[in-house]
Amino acid sequence: MGTRIQTLGKAAFVLPAMTVVLALLIYPVLSSVFFSFTDRNLLKAAYEFVGFQNFTIVLSNPEFWNAFSTSIRWTVGSILGQLLVGFLAALALERVPRLSGLFRTLLIIPWAFPAIVIGFSWKWILNDVYGFLPNLLTRLGFSEQNVSFLADPSVVFWAVLVINIWFGAPLFMVNILAALKTVPKDQQEAALVDGANIGQRFWFITMPHIRKVVGLLIILRTIWVFNNFELLFLITGGGPAGITTTLPIFAYRTGWGLHQLGMASAITVLLLLFLLAIASIAFRIINSGDRKALR
Amino acid sequence: MIYTSTREGSTIRSRWGAKAAALALAATFGLAGCSAPNTDSAVPDEDAPLTGDIVFWSGFTQGPRAEYLQGMADKFMTENPDVSITIETFSWPEFETKWTTGLASGQVPDVSTALPNQVVEMINVDALAPVDDVIDDIGRDRFSAAALGEGQKDDVSYSIPLYSHAQVMWYRTDLLEAAGLEVPQTWDELKDAAIALNAPPTTYGLSVPLGTNDMMGSRYLNFYVQSEGGALIDDSGRADLTSPEAIEGINYWVDMYKKTSPEGSINYNITDQATLFYQGKTAFDFNSGFHIGGVRTNSPQLLESIAAAPLPRVKADDPIYGGETSNIPLVVWNAGDNQAASKAFVETLYADEDYVKFIHSVPGGMLPALSDISEDPAYLDDETLQQFGSSVDVIEEVIPLGTAIGMENGPTVQAGIITSQGVIEQMFQDIILNGTAVKDAAKTAQDKLNQLFVTAGVTFK
């Protein structure tokens, strides 16, 4: 009897959290999956079950594959750049003896701004007529005429990629910096005494301590960046000529522009499956590292 | 199997389908509150005091218009103490998402502003209440038939025009004068003048905005096609981008982009475009009377140097035409519980004195939807309207001649799609950036639009 009451008590404590999780996570996912098999239109009450028709249409659309390819390049480029910049900034900050808190705060500023502010600010900064940066480059003699960062097909993708790296690197920096603080100093000192060089100390002592944090960061940021919509949409709208159209923008145009909720749901389900596959592979890699370490 | 959300009452056919869908639908829409049209309140007892909570979704984000609306709501609530009005303000792009998702979940307002192409979609899904009674009370003959027609289906009115504006050509008088140029009347004259005044990076002749985030490319092409007597949607309801007029128009704007426009304008939206004119960076631009307020706010020193003229024509002796008119309406939602109070509040917004105050909140930008107000001395007694009298006259002249893009043959769903999907803008970008032949790009865009029309459930004539 007592055990049963205890169990019920535990369940009662867990219930609110479970309710929130179900409402905010499970329900939207399930409803997306459900609608992906229907011809649900946002404006129409009636809809029919259409099997895999939405998936067939989406997967045979070349625009979907263009958006998918752009999403892959956008995510890989962003994550690699954010990781590199965040790592370097964290390593540098760890060595700053004074005012490291101030520098940390300054470096995290991009992360503190809402995407809409960042989007419009960069759009303003990069405008080819009155933008600060193109005019500055021209005045300094780096270009003969103002560079069209947001219109030149050979430049626009890289321009928004750099913005996303600038935006996301602080999160890597803060977390890697926190992980670096957990590396035991005595191990570093012992390795130094044993004659290990800086590269060896980093690879054999620092990396094992921060690997898991970095791995989780990469997984989480990969999901966020792959799903990111607002930054690109605000700055380029997916253009010009679809060069910066990622899957979320493609899904948005389908869902809201055409009101085809069923079709948009199919796109998001495909996106979910892809990200689940990526995340499971990444987790296996991290865990395999743990098993090797235990051996 | 056909499933119907609880918004229209559950009619789920087939046993297993009912089980599967009931769970999802109950969760999806059940919580949202479902309401059938409130027929009781639609036929109110005239002597009974008005009651109820009214939610008003407003697209008026700018200070003076928002303040005016709130003031009118406060006044109405004072006169009708049992009525509570809550005004929720959204930007126009946000409103598109808001009402479509709101409709799906049953969370719609009692009254709202709307764009004409949204009204068409709202009517098609029975989301709006008929408002002929309100129009008759205000005075049906005070509205233009064209403006009323944009919100009618089967001779029933579902929207009430609140104000109007139309696209005209804005130009810099000082630049034209300095170059010894006349105000262009034809497309060829415009191109020649824009090329003559093109002096980047100080000034560009004319920016051609082609961003897929907006409908500016469609607007510019529509101007040209209209001037040739054509339309972007033909009589059968199909997109028509391969007509001789459309091909000529596409070539014209591509050439203009290359000769007089900033390179970045390939990805500009309406704000980017307007900002150039406000900053004195362009000699010509196309917009409504809202440009007056924009220039006043951003570059008041330029206010003396801007004026409006009718849209260019093919030949100077061609008649003036309406390239694009926007009649912004109010709508009363079917699902609202307080239609009597909602309609009564809407009606107060058209009371002469208050209506003039509303129109004066953006002088020159919003022109009266009530024809008699345009001649009202109280309306004309405004500093801006007097300063820009000739420009406002130009706009007033073309308002009755035009419609929203794609609505030349009446309200259609295609009008919303042609301006919301960026297909025409993608076509321009494809021609300019990828070097695709104009006819091929036009055919591809036309096929894509027609496919989108079919996807949206359009049946061609």
Q: What is the pLDDT of residue B57?
A: 95
What's the pLDDT tens digit per position in B202-254?
Answer: 899 999 999 988 899 999 999 999 999 999 999 999 999 999 999 999 999 99
Is residue B294 within 8 A of residue B277, CB to CB? The reply is: yes
Other C-beta atoms lying within 10 Å of the C-beta of residue A42: 21
- Beta-strand ranges (E) seen in chain A are 46-48
Q: Are residues B386 and B417 in the same domain?
A: no
> Which residue from B minimizes the CA distance to A40?
B3
Question: Which pLDDT tens digit goes with each residue over A122-151?
Answer: 999 999 999 999 999 999 999 888 999 999
* Residues B389 and B418 grouped into a single domain: no
Span A103-112, mean pLDDT? 81
Q: What is the pLDDT of residue A289?
A: 65
Cα–Cα distance for residue pair B442/B250, rounded to 1 Å: 8
A144-159 pLDDT, tens digit per residue, is: 889 999 999 899 999 9
In contact, B430 and B198? CB cutoff 8 Å: no
The per-residue pLDDT for B31 is: 33
Chain B residues near residue A241 by CB distance under 8 angstroms: 426, 429-430, 433-434
- Is residue B22 a part of any domain in this protein? no
Do B105 and B205 fall into the same domain? Answer: no
Euclidean distance between CA atoms B240 and B236, whole angstroms: 10
Nearest CA in chain A to B11: A46
Listed as ranges, residues in chain B with pLDDT below 50 are 1-2, 4-43
d(CA A87, CA B55): 51
State the Cα–Cα distance between residues B307 and B151, nearest whole angstrom: 32
Contacts A253 to B, Cβ<8 Å: 421-422
User: Rounded distance, CA A132 to CA B376, Å?
Assistant: 47
Nearest Cα neighbor of A223 from A248, A198, A203, A242 is: A248
Q: Between the CA atoms of B221, B223, B226 and B227, what dihedral angle is there, to the nearest 10 degrees?
A: -120
As a residue count, chain A comes to 295
Task: Determine whether the interchain pair A127/B272 forms a contact, defined as Cβ–Cβ distance below 8 Å.
Answer: yes
Residue A44 has pLDDT above 80, yes or no: no
| Contacting residues of A for B266, CB less than 8 Å apart | 148, 151, 239-240
Nearest by CB to residue A43, choosing from B97, B100, B425, is B100
Can you read off the two tokens belonging to residue B218? 């469609």
Structure tokens at A225: 């960046």
Interface test with A, best of B198, B207, B267, B430 (most A CBs within 10 A): B267
Q: Which CATH number fits domain A61-259: 3.40.1030.10, 3.30.70.2700, 1.10.3720.10, 1.10.620.20?
A: 1.10.3720.10
List, in sequence order, every beta strand (DSSP E) within A133-255: none
Nearest 10 degrees: Cα torsion A198, A202, A205, A206:
140
B residues 58-77 closer than 8 Å to A (CB): none
Q: What's at B289, amino acid-wise? A: G
Tell me whether residue B8 is in a domain: no
**What residue segments make up the domains of chain A, in order of their start?**
61-259
* Tens digits of residue pLDDT in B57-100: 998 887 788 889 999 999 999 999 999 999 999 887 788 888 88
The three-state secondary structure class of B157 is strand
3-state secondary structure of A152: coil
Q: pLDDT at position A290, please? A: 63
Co-location of B311 and B339 in the same domain: no
Q: Which whole-number Å values give the CA distances from B212 to A128, A233, B209, B216, B267, in the listed order?
A: 17, 10, 9, 9, 7
- Angle of CA points B23, B27, B30, to nearest 5°: 110
Please say if the pLDDT value at position A7 is more than 80.
yes
Considering the domain architecture, whether residues B75 and B215 belong to the same structural domain is answered as: no
* CATH number of the domain bearing residue B357: 3.40.190.10
Task: Quote the domain boundaries for residue B189.
Answer: 166-323+409-455
Q: What is the mean pLDDT of residues A266-274?
A: 92
Count A/B contacts: CB-CB distance under 8 Å.
132
Whole-angstrom Cα distance, residue B165 to residue B365? Answer: 7
Query: Does the residue B350 lie in any domain?
Result: yes
Query: Does residue B80 lie within any of the structural domains?
Result: yes
The tokens for B3 are: 């499933």
Last residue of a domain, which of B401, B418, B443? B401
Q: Would residue B1 count as lying in a domain? A: no
Is B423 found in the same domain as B386? no
Across the beta sheet with B282-287, the strand order is B204-206, B282-287, B168-172, B306-309
Asked if B220 and B246 touch (Cβ cutoff 8 Å), the reply is: no
Last residue of a domain, one of B401, B421, B445: B401
The tokens describing B211, both together, are: 């961003």
Mean per-residue pLDDT, A5-34: 86
* A234 and A120 Cβ atoms separated by less than 8 Å: yes
Give which of A43, A234, A236 to mutate to test B binding, by max B Cβ within 10 Å.
A43
B365 and B243 in a common domain: no
B21's CB contacts (< 8 A; 6+ apart) are B3, B12
Higher pLDDT, B427 or A41: B427
The one-character DSSP state at B1 is -
Alpha-carbon A127 to chain mean position: 25
Distance, in angstroms, between B9 CA and closest chain A CA? 9
CB-nearest partner of A238 from B7, B212, B272? B212
| The pLDDT value given to residue B101 | 84
CB < 8 Å from A in window 313-332 of B: none
Instruction: Burial-class residue B461 by CB neighbours within 10 Å (0-12, 13-18, 19+).
Output: exposed
Same domain, B292 and B347: no
Task: Please state the φ and ψ torsions of residue B101, each to the nearest 5 degrees.
Answer: -70, -35
At B39 the pLDDT is 39
Domains of chain B: total:
2
CB contact under 8 A, A150 and B264: yes
CA A145 to chain centre: 34
Query: Domain check: are B427 and B396 in the same one?
Result: no
Cβ atoms within 10 Å of B236's Cβ, excluding its own: 10
Cα–chain center distance at A92: 24
Q: What is the pLDDT of residue B388?
A: 93
The pLDDT, as a whole number, for residue B260 is: 97
Mode of pairing for the β-strands spanning B156-157 and B152-153:
antiparallel
ipTM of the complex: 0.78
Judge: B201–A34 Cβ closer than 8 Å, yes or no: no
User: Residue A51, SS3?
Assistant: coil
Residues B178 and B298 reside in one and the same domain: yes
Same domain, B319 and B417: yes
Q: How confident is the model at residue A292 (pLDDT cuts 50, 70, 90)?
A: low
Cβ(A128)–Cβ(A159) below 8 Å: no
| Separation between Cα atoms, residue B375 and residue A177, nearest integer Å | 70
Q: Is B102 among the domain residues?
A: yes
Same domain, B175 and B290: yes
Residue B23, pLDDT score = 36
B13 in a domain, yes or no?
Answer: no
Distances (CA, A) of B347 to B58, B76, B100, B137: 16, 11, 26, 8
Contacts of A229 in chain B (CB under 8 A): none
Please report residues of A whose CB lies closer than 8 A to that of B201: 129, 135, 138, 145-146
B104 at A interface, C-beta within 8 A: yes
Portion 385-444 of B in contact with A at CB < 8 A:
417, 420-422, 425-426, 429-430, 433-434
